[in-house]
A and B are shown apart, each in its own frame.
Chain A
Amino acid sequence: MFNLFSLSWRNIWRHRGRSLMTAGAVGLAVFFTLVYLSFLGAMENGIYNNLTASVGHLQVRVEGYREKREFRDLLIPNAAQVEARLATQTQASRVVALEIPALVAGETRSRGVLLIGDQRPPELRERFVKQSLVEGRLPEAGDLDSIALGASLARALKVRLGDAVYVYAPGTEGRGAGAYRLVGLLRFPDPAIEARSAYLALAAAQELAAPGSATRIELHFPFTRYSQDAQLDTVQPALAASLGPGLSLESWREASPAIAQIFNLLTPLVLIFAAIFFGLAGLLVVNTIYLGLLERTREFGVIVALGAGPGQVTRMVVLESLLLCSSGALVGGLLGLLTIAALSGGFSLEALYGEVGSVFGLPEKVYLSLRAWDIPITLAYTLLTGLLAAWWPARVAARLEPVEAMRFTA
């Protein structure tokens, strides 16, 4: 026995080819929307991971550090104490870094660099090694004699592993100069950074330029991108309050406003594209539903004559449109999910944007993944397309006069 639902379903497939084509268009819109959204999610995820790996989720800095030019004004005094206080309040891994503008020299050449004295827990150290070290090793914690350089910087200075490297940091509060042995070569995606990178152990850097101080303390949380906003919102104010005066706590968003801004722009952009896809598919749906109505005008005339009210006739037309859209969406959605599953293992984009991409923090490898809202958003688009496409035909159908409709000849 039928109901209005199965009646609509059977009516759709009276014109199999036409309906298949229309459902296919909706399916394509669903497919592309899902894949684009998951691609976007993957890109954001990659950028987020790169960024938080390099600067942490939260950073302690001297208040107003962006406006300060003098090295001494950027220093967090008693960095060890500040770090210890943070340690009592959060499980996050901590990186303490002292950045010093300095001059490094080999036997015959010298260059201006940003010297970084850096102390990080083993898991972050390992990640750094894996990502950036090309030869040798990093200076061990507490090692006062070793230095690692950007590979291109070492070439420019004409130094090799084992050679002596001299560092000058005049006008600072430490010894101001030191001699180190080159133990490691580093590679960075951005050549400009590689040409100005030099790494010491934190203790060595403090001895050189600022005993006991640091310029930033990074906090690395085990957050995933999707939970982090909510979690940071609760953690950040509490931690900020516990810092002494003169210090500020910034999230990675505040530290990299341009990239955070890109995040806010990308999703609306994809949604606008999706709206265009669905709009085009929707025109086909309108056409199919309206033609179906036109061809069946006499039939609708009989249905109205038998006592179907405007509401019931409207429901029949809307149901047809929704069923048409959702059958396409089902197939397109399944294909989309399969594609996403197949590419969730990650694929490289190097071919697409080459080396340049990593300069902007774009991930080298993306792992397609759906975010919480991707499927609901796609479903909402499908539903909206079905309803909007049915609107006009449904109005026409609801206004049919039975006698005229039954006399209708196409």
Chain B
Amino acid sequence: MTPVLQVKELTKVYRVDTVETPALRGVSLEVHPGEFIALAGPSGSGKSTLLHLMGGLDKPTSGEVWLGGQRIDGLSKAQLSNLRLWNVGFVFQAYNLIPVLTALENAAFVLELRDEPREVRESKALQALETLGMKDLAHRRPNQLSGGQQQRVAVARALAARPKIILADEPTANLDSKTGLALIEHMRTLNREQGVTFVFSTHDPRLLERVDRIVRLEDGQIAA
């Protein structure tokens, strides 16, 4: 089976003034359709960096990134944003949602950027919210939602757009462990029932129990 996402010998060096920080040092990884992968590793090990490169948010110093059979590490800024719009879902650690939009409108945001018709946006977003058990709170603004509810809306936003892959960078970091676990459960259910491919990062070991594949990063490299 062809991987939905593949990185080969990926390196990333951050340069601040004259100081060089190697964040990734030769990472190779394949993600197959329907996989549910956790990126684990201590702080500073390169999890966020890897997720950013996989999702076309940033460009690697060297190495290759392939998404759905297309090499993306050399694409222009405009091409990358288009690629993200149509192929990649993102869930971030915090500040995910737009405060002036309701849960429903946030869930429909990517569809709006894609210029999909109003009814289509609304029904897809509502359905995604329902899947995450957020339908009743669809008309609340983010500041009227708990942290866990906000993250579920962020997952619903990614889900509504039906991307090839959803990348989540520490989606549970700001949640207590019970709420965090519930969020991962939601993602897991989506993965199992709808075949959505997930890669998420965490450093909470308890979240790793329900995962079928764990990739451990250490110092910018995959640990054996």
Name A residues whose Cβ lies closer than 8 Å to a Cβ of B. Answer: 1-4, 7, 10-11, 14, 298-299, 302-310, 312, 401-403, 406
In the complex, chain B residues whose CB is within 8 Å of the CB of A307: 81-86, 88, 110, 113-114
Residue in B83, B105, B110 whose CB lies within 8 Å of A2: B105
C-alpha gap A308/B86 in the complex (Å): 11
11 A-B pairs within 8 Å (CB atoms) are namely A1-B104, A7-B98, A14-B99, A299-B98, A299-B99, A303-B109, A305-B92, A306-B109, A306-B110, A308-B113, A309-B78
Q: For chain A, what secondary structure do more than half of its interface residues adopt (helix, strand, loop), or is it mixed?
A: helix
Residue in A3, A14, A309, A403 whose CB lies within 8 Å of B57: A403
In the complex, chain B residues whose CB is within 8 Å of the CB of A11: 100
C-alpha gap A302/B108 in the complex (Å): 14
Pair A403/B100 contact, Cβ less than 8 Å: no
C-alpha gap A299/B114 in the complex (Å): 18
Question: Does B219 belong to the interface (CB within 8 Å)?
Answer: no
**What is the count of residue pairs linking A and B with beta-carbon distances less than 8 angstroms?**
73
Pair B78/A312 contact, Cβ less than 8 Å: no
In the complex, chain B residues whose CB is within 8 Å of the CB of A14: 99-100
Pair B85/A2 contact, Cβ less than 8 Å: no
Pair A308/B104 contact, Cβ less than 8 Å: no
C-alpha gap A332/B73 in the complex (Å): 52
Q: How far does the Cβ of A14 sit from chain B's closest Cβ, in whole Å?
A: 7
C-alpha gap A403/B14 in the complex (Å): 12
Residue in A1, A308, A309, A403 whose CB lies within 8 Å of B121: A1
A10 closest partner in B (C-beta): B100
Interface size on B, residues (CB 8 A): 33
C-alpha gap A349/B81 in the complex (Å): 63
Pair B95/A406 contact, Cβ less than 8 Å: yes
Beyond the given pairs A1-B108, A2-B112, 16 more chain A to chain B contacts, judged by CB atoms under 8 angstroms and listed by A's residue number, are A10-B100, A298-B95, A299-B95, A305-B55, A305-B84, A306-B110, A307-B81, A307-B83, A307-B113, A308-B85, A308-B113, A309-B82, A401-B58, A403-B52, A406-B92, A406-B95
Q: For chain B, what secondary structure do more than half of its interface residues adopt (helix, strand, loop), or is it mixed?
A: helix
Pair A310/B81 contact, Cβ less than 8 Å: yes
**Which of B52, B112, B114 has the most chain A CB atoms inside 10 A of its CB?**
B112
B157 closest partner in A (C-beta): A306
Question: Does B77 belong to the interface (CB within 8 Å)?
Answer: yes
Residue in B52, B90, B95 whose CB lies within 8 Å of A306: B90
C-alpha gap A401/B81 in the complex (Å): 11
B163 closest partner in A (C-beta): A307
9 smallest CB-CB distances across A and B, nearest first, come from A307-B85, A10-B100, A307-B84, A2-B105, A309-B81, A298-B95, A403-B58, A402-B57, A308-B113
C-alpha gap A299/B99 in the complex (Å): 9
* B153-170 interface code vs A (CB 8 A; 1 in, 0 out): 000010000000000000
C-alpha gap A206/B83 in the complex (Å): 94
B102 closest partner in A (C-beta): A2
Pair A3/B112 contact, Cβ less than 8 Å: yes
Q: How far does the Cβ of A372 sit from chain B's closest Cβ, in whole Å?
A: 39
In the complex, chain B residues whose CB is within 8 Å of the CB of A305: 55, 57, 84, 90, 92
Question: Does B218 belong to the interface (CB within 8 Å)?
Answer: no
A313 closest partner in B (C-beta): B81
C-alpha gap A134/B48 in the complex (Å): 94
In the complex, chain A residues whose CB is within 8 Å of the CB of B95: 298-299, 302, 406
Q: How far does the Cβ of B85 sit from chain A's closest Cβ, in whole Å?
A: 3
B104 closest partner in A (C-beta): A1
